[in-house]
């Protein structure tokens, strides 16, 4: 099992992801520079958080033009597992691998804190190791994390069961008070129709050790490992 972790100019969570999957989960991992995107030896790809190209124009808008994205699209088209975290999620949206867009947080401020997530869809390669309806705690760190899509897309996501995570209270209530950024339907993470591409704003790689405040993020990486092996 080998993870490929993409590095764009401005990525700053690539080493966090490497530490999570290599040192905590004990899986092989390597960095992939965005201009040399050879993924032939990888079983799963991670698009990490950060500020690709400084978030100029809008987050992910320039990164989607990178040679890496064509390889990621091809890899996903063959059924390979792809997870985009924070800025990685934004790149997946900009590239069309996932529907919708990210808007500025409703507060117009950068938000960095722990949030609670309801695991809506357990039947994915990314959540298979999580008990149904489990509430997990994962940190967020973003300024443009308010998920937006038109009504037709939202209806389709709900109809397909493609909403994977929703912001909720510690008791599992999906409510406006639990929504940190104004995302429609409290969306924190979605998958594609085939189920092999996941985008999520919260950072599971920052929740893999007790010293970081919790280990709920481990279950997401463990799910990927079990799905591949």
pLDDT for 89:
98
For the chain, the structural domain boundaries read: 2-228
Q: How is residue 21 written in tokens?
A: 């999957």
**What pLDDT, in 10s, does the model give residues 130-149?**
876 689 999 999 999 999 99
- Dist. CA 124–CA 109, nearest whole Å: 32
What are the beta bridge partners of residue 146? 103
Low-confidence stretches of the chain (pLDDT < 50) are none
Read off φ and ψ for residue 26, nearest 5 degrees. 60, 35
**What pLDDT, in 10s, does the model give residues 211-226?**
999 999 999 999 999 9
Question: Known catalytic residues?
Answer: 86, 203, 205
For residue 192, CA distances in Å to 4, 111, 125, 156, 204 come to 20, 26, 12, 11, 19
- Dist. CA 93–CA 82, nearest whole Å: 13
Q: How is residue 29 written in tokens?
A: 């991992």
Residue 38: CB partners within 8 Å, gap ≥ 6? Answer: 32, 71
Q: Which CATH code fits 2-228?
A: 3.40.50.880
pLDDT for 134:
82
The three-point CA angle 23-28-29 to 5° equals: 85
pLDDT for 132:
66
């Amino acid at each position: 099992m080998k993870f490929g972790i993409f590095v764009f100019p401005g990525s700053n969570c690539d080493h966090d992801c490497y530490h999570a999957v290599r040192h905590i989960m004990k899986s092989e991992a390597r960095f992939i520079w965005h201009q040399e995107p050879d993924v032939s030896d990888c079983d799963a790809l991670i698009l990490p958080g950060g500020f690709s190209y400084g978030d100029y124009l809008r987050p992910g808008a320039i990164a989607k033009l990178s040679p890496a994205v064509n390889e990621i699209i091809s890899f996903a088209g063959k059924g390979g597992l792809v997870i985009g975290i924070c800025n990685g999620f934004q790149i997946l949206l900009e590239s069309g691998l996932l529907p919708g867009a990210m808007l500025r947080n409703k507060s117009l401020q950068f938000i960095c804190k722990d949030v609670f997530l309801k695991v809506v869809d357990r039947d994915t390669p990314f959540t298979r190791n999580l008990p149904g309806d489990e509430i997990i705690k994962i940190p967020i760190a973003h300024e443009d994390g308010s998920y937006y899509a038109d009504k037709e897309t939202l209806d389709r996501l709900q109809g397909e069961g493609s909403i994977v995570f929703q912001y909720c209270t510690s008791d599992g209530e999906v409510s406006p008070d639990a929504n940190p950024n104004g995302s429609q339907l409290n969306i924190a993470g979605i998958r594609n129709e085939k189920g092999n591409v996941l985008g999520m704003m919260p950072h599971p790689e920052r929740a893999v050790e007790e010293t970081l405040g919790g280990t709920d993020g481990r279950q997401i990486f463990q799910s990927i490992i079990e799905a591949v092996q």
